Amino acid sequence: MKVEAIQRWPLWIRVSVTGVAVAAAYLLQIPLEREIPGEPFLLFLLVVIGATLAFGGTTGFAGVAMTTVLSIRFFEPTATFALHHAVDLVKIEVFAILATACVFALAHYHYALNASMRRAEEKKSLLFSELAHGVANNFAAIAALISLKSLSVKDPRARAVLDEAIEQVKVMGRVHGRLRAGDQEALVHSEQFFGELCNDLKASLALDHPVSIECKADSIPMCMDQATSLGLIVNELVTNAIKHAFPNSRSGRIRVAFEVLKDELRLCVEDDGIGFRPLMRKNNGMGQDLVAGLAGQLAGHLEVASTSSGSSFRLSVPFASPVPSARSEQPSATSIH
């Protein structure tokens, strides 16, 4: 909250701003005193209340001290710090007591309000986490059910389609499993999400020859929609590369990179396999259509290149950070062998 950020300012800045406000009230009260003689307490009390609400109790007490001293100059003899009447001293003391009581009351109210809001936020985060965990479990149950049903399917091509569907359901389950609450929006931690996705892909698509998957991702929070679509794209591209880019027990490497460049996200999936072949395009047209469709949903620009020494997919997507200072952490790399 903005008020909490202001209250974290250094004490000398808060006291200085309060002093400026007190001085402004004092200068404003001088011409008013000439036209309408009376005590300056109301204007000074408003300044004290405002300082307490904006800067906290400590600054409020400083405001009480400053206004109490300056109020003396409005009693006879005016424009001096001398008092000739005991009743004037009593008035000033009563003002100091009331102003101090207001500061105590407002500071206590503000503390209680903040504590209540923190408890409400913690409860909301807990409920959100439980909901996200429950949804992730539902996706896992759906994937298990499809997997069980696929055992009775004899057609290899139908089995392959079901296997791809199972992996896509698992990706969506991973997104929900990584959700966290932040600024009223469901967010996913990109570095952890892409790293674990690549780990899961390597484990689920066991091969009898060495193919490594390297994952390097900037650490930022992403909204759920972007994370789901990008996760499905990575799942499709890495799965196709593992299945088709390294035939005849050929070893190789797949690189997944995710980075933030000012106002856009860039996702790269590259391999050093054999590149595209006509047969591969025929078998994987649906997968490439899925990648192109997801890129279109993200309003992204997809570049594809393929040679006999490997293939690369580069996707650029517009990005607006869902939270302030989203790039506070540095990229890290994970290598899976």
Q: What is the pTM of this model?
A: 0.55
- Averaged pLDDT, 121-146: 75
| Residue 178: Cβ within 10 Å count | 22
- Averaged pLDDT, 150-172: 81
- Averaged pLDDT, 270-281: 70
Q: What is the mean pLDDT of the chain?
A: 81
Query: How is 125-175 classified by DSSP, letter by letter?
Result: HHHHHHHHHHHHHHHHHHHHHHHHHHTT---HHHHHHHHHHHHHHHHHHHH
pLDDT top residue among 256 and 222: 256
pLDDT tens digits for range 83-116: 888 888 999 999 999 999 999 999 888 888 888 8
User: What band does 198 get if pLDDT is binned at 50, 70 and 90?
Assistant: confident
User: What band does 31 get if pLDDT is binned at 50, 70 and 90?
Assistant: confident
**pLDDT score of 328 more than 50:** no
**pLDDT score of 132 more than 70:** no
Domains of the chain with bracketed CATH: 2-117 (no CATH), 187-336 (3.30.565.10)
On whether the CB atoms of residues 198 and 238 are closer than 8 A, the answer is yes
**pLDDT score of 318 more than 70:** yes
On whether the CB atoms of residues 229 and 222 are closer than 8 A, the answer is no
**pLDDT score of 135 more than 60:** yes
pLDDT of residue 129: 66
- Burial tier of 171 (Cβ tally within 10 Å: 0-12, 13-18, 19+): buried
